[in-house]
Structure 1
Amino acid sequence: MSLSFLDGRWILKMDIPSEEYLLKCSSSCAGCSDSLTLRYVLKAAGPDTVLIVPACCTSVIQGMYPQTAFNVPVYNIAFGAAAACASGMSNALRALGRKTSVIVYAGDGGTLDIGIQALSGAFERGTDFLYICYDNEAYGNTGMQRSGATPLGARTTTTPSGKMDVKKDIDAIVAAHSPPYMATACPAYPRDLFQKVRKALMFRGPSFLHVLAPCPPGWRFSPEKSVELGKLAVKSCMWVLYEREHGKLSLSSPSRTAMKKPIPLEEYLAPQGRFEGINAETLEALKQNIAESIKRLTAEEAGG
């Protein structure tokens, strides 16, 4: 653990442990950002953790007992019930005097769409848990159908000509519940992800982490480019890294730097087959959304 001065603030840096809780027998796809994300999540959470995993890619890549790839307890639950399960589990563990970290680890379909009712209820009740949405922007486990998280213009198996609707703003929905802590992250920036999980677990009550998880087969890019795509998402400001603590927003260093001079959006979209043939009007709409996001987030951080 060390302190460093960055962007006018002292930043506490935590060393990433060498212990592994995601083992080598994972059945994930090559270049899977979901499994990479979970690796750092579990390193941050440690062994006294229980994962609640609804139907999603993660429920498949864990493998079948006793050959499971996860070295922590896992509770597989129905698509829409993860946050409700977490409420009961957290309350039971706290009644026993246990501080076990209760973590829902769900995809975007099970968060923005199917599981949003249970998520809202758990946050309204003040459940002591961490909800992590790893966002590959479609229903990856069942063939990459569009979800509420699929961005405008992206081609999926159910939007072959490109999605006509903008991505649902789950972060604004969660923020409306006034959780003590919420943040965005990406495994392309592992230390940022690790530190945000550690920080989230320090708060009593519900915390939320929204993680961009580039998907090679679903987004149609070469598997070795997963980290590169994550960095391009941040550098183009298509994905902004920040944290909101008791309602106060702070931009994370990679995004604060990127916002000063974002790379052209085309550099992020070009390697992805799902954006092949995107028309000029849709591209301009995406650029306008990015500009509005930068303006809104910088103003909020400044107290505007």
Structure 2
Amino acid sequence: MITISEIPKEEYLKPCTAACAGCSSSLCLRYVLKAAGPDTVLVIPACCTSVIQGMYPNTSFNVPVYNIAFAAAAACASGMSRAFRSEGKKTNVIVYAGDGGTVDIGIQALSGAFERGTDFLYICYDNEAYGNTGMQRSGSTPLGALTTTTPAGKTEYKKDLDRIVAAHNPPYMATASSAYPLDLYKKVKKALSIEGPKFIHIMAPCPPGWRYDSDRTIEIGKLAVKTGMWVLWEREHGNLTVSGPSKGAMARPQPIDEYIKAQGRFKAATPEIINELQQTVTKNLERIRKEAEGIC
């Protein structure tokens, strides 16, 4: 069993990024790269990460990075992986993309790469909006959340990306959170040990976009898990297992009120919307529980 003290000390993300204070996606990438190691190439479409690496010719990343157009990350990774494998190289090809470039603009390339069986890891760090361009609404934005393009609150539900990916039957997929770095590290290590297309969906709270103080990033992430707004699990060859931090929430989730009230983006959410969100959480937890128990 790996403990936090056993995570490699090597740093592939230098402490000179252009990330916002309290940025959880850069924290996640730090642990992703620790798990992947130096023989890794990142494919990054337009997103916050394409900015926080710094201004050319300087960079805060200590692995090769290929910056690619919004819609093309998974297609680029397919060609890159095929090229490496044809030369007998086991180099890790990792797409690190936001929800805008995954749930919306890049979903066709993601689907194509998974259908082709590309040997790569696709990671979506989900801050539930287009963070890099001003926090516009994305398909991943939850019901009731304020964005710059939904100033009265979004009226549609968040797209269920995980069930879309699951329909492609990848050998491994998982969810993770910036609030639980050890869980994330283990899942990346496992994913990279499996051949074929892998997918990890990370919740990445965003202080300016979600409108909370930057020192509360980890607290917000943990609240999401404790309330069941975000469930940590992994599905290996079709078998789903709930991860440790979410086991308590599955049995006795906290009401979502504290999570909602901690974020300014939900300040316009009515009691009816909050009730809808709570009902959705309850149904999702029950669906995951049944799948983990083999009932469905």
Structure 2 residue aligned with 1:85? 76
Cα distance per residue 1:221-274 (max 9 Å; x no partner): 000000000000000000000000001100001111112211120111111000
Structure 2 residue aligned with 1:36? 27
Out of 174, 177, 182, the residue aligned to residue 173 of structure 2 is: 182
Whether 1:150 aligns to 2:166 is no
Whether 1:135 aligns to 2:126 is yes
Whether the 8 Å contact between 1:21 and 1:43 is mirrored in structure 2 is yes
Q: How does 1:195-214 map to 2 (within 5 A)?
A: 195-214=186-205
Give the 3-state SS of the residue equivalent to 1:21 in structure 2: coil
Whether 1:66 aligns to 2:36 is no
Distance of 1:291 and 1:257 partners within structure 2: 14
Out of 214, 227, 233, the residue aligned to residue 223 of structure 1 is: 214
Whether 1:241 aligns to 2:243 is no
Whether 1:290 aligns to 2:281 is yes
Structure 2 residue aligned with 1:163? 154
Give the 3-state SS of the residue equivalent to 1:132 in structure 2: strand
Whether the 8 Å contact between 2:144 and 2:268 is mirrored in structure 1 is no
Cα distance per residue 1:24-78 (max 9 Å; x no partner): 1100000001100100000000000000000000000001233201000000000
Distance of 1:62 and 1:183 partners within structure 2: 26
Give the 3-state SS of the residue equivalent to 2:246 in structure 1: helix
Whether the 8 Å contact between 2:43 and 2:65 is mirrored in structure 1 is yes
TM-score with structure 1 length normalisation?
A: 0.95
Give the 3-state SS of the residue equivalent to 2:146 in structure 1: coil
Whether 1:111 aligns to 2:99 is no
Distance of 1:188 and 1:256 partners within structure 2: 15
Whether the 8 Å contact between 2:146 and 2:268 is mirrored in structure 1 is no
Whether the 8 Å contact between 1:25 and 1:67 is mirrored in structure 2 is no
Distance of 2:100 and 2:21 partners within structure 1: 21
Structure 1's unaligned 5+ residue stretches are 3-11
Out of 241, 245, 253, the residue aligned to residue 250 of structure 1 is: 241
Out of 271, 278, 285, the residue aligned to residue 280 of structure 1 is: 271
Structure 2 residue aligned with 1:54? 45
Q: Which amino acid aligns with 1:51?
A: L
Q: Which amino acid aligns with 2:278?
A: K
Distance of 1:78 and 1:190 partners within structure 2: 29
Whether the 8 Å contact between 2:40 and 2:94 is mirrored in structure 1 is yes
Distance of 2:92 and 2:173 partners within structure 1: 16
How far 1:280 sits from its partner (Å)? 1.1
Q: Which amino acid aligns with 2:20?
A: C
Distance of 1:45 and 1:290 partners within structure 2: 33
Q: Which amino acid aligns with 2:188?
A: V
TM-score with structure 2 length normalisation?
A: 0.98
Whether the 8 Å contact between 1:13 and 1:195 is mirrored in structure 2 is no
Structure 1 residue aligned with 2:292? 301
Whether the 8 Å contact between 2:77 and 2:93 is mirrored in structure 1 is yes
Distance of 2:217 and 2:171 partners within structure 1: 31
Structure 2 residue aligned with 1:25? 16
Whether the 8 Å contact between 2:240 and 2:292 is mirrored in structure 1 is yes
How far 1:13 sits from its partner (Å)? 5.5
Give the 3-state SS of the residue equivalent to 1:76 in structure 2: strand
Give the 3-state SS of the residue equivalent to 1:60 in structure 2: helix
Give the 3-state SS of the residue equivalent to 1:94 in structure 2: helix
Out of 66, 73, 80, the residue aligned to residue 75 of structure 1 is: 66
Give the 3-state SS of the residue equivalent to 1:66 in structure 2: coil
Distance of 1:51 and 1:141 partners within structure 2: 18
Structure 2's unaligned 5+ residue stretches are none
Distance of 1:277 and 1:169 partners within structure 2: 23
